[in-house]
Amino acid sequence: MTTQRRAVGAYGERLAARHLTDRGLQVLARNWRCADGEVDLILRDGDDVVFCEVKTRRTATFGPPAAAVDHRKVRKLRQLAGRWLAESGTHAGQIRFDVVEVLPQPRGAARVVHLRAAF
């Protein structure tokens, strides 16, 4: 991955985390990694634990950012969620998988779209 793509991704993750915490969610982990992969954000929403994939795109040429979350990514995130829960010992009322789309705008603030229970 290029340095520029990494920077765009990190920017999107910072905006997504701020957007979600402004709405009352609590960040438990950012960029949690294990040998099997990475989860962008893990949050607490009341008694629930939320595993969040952040997708940032500079243009809509290839469709909305959430379109990049395909069946393979869904399967991987579910696997990683199980591993994180087992390793952390965290208890959850329910588990939810969200996607946050970040679309930087030519002028002004980036557009942030939070898709709750995306899959």
Residues 41-58: tens digit of each pLDDT: 999 999 999 999 999 988
Q: Residue 20 corresponds to which tokens in the numbers above?
A: 């979600």
Of the candidates 114, 95, 92, 93, which has an alpha carbon nearest to the alpha carbon of residue 103? 114
**Based on the structure, what is the number of domains in the chain?**
1
Q: Kindly report the CATH number assigned to the domain that includes residue 56.
A: 3.40.1350.10
CB 114 within 8 A of CB 12: no
The pTM (predicted TM-score) of the whole model is: 0.92
d(CA 116, CA 4): 28
Domain ranges, residue 78: 3-115
The residue to which tokens 């595993």 are assigned: 51
Strand order in the sheet with 95-103: 26-34, 37-45, 48-56, 95-103, 111-115
Give the mean pLDDT of 58-82.
Answer: 91
pLDDT of 61 > 90? The answer is no
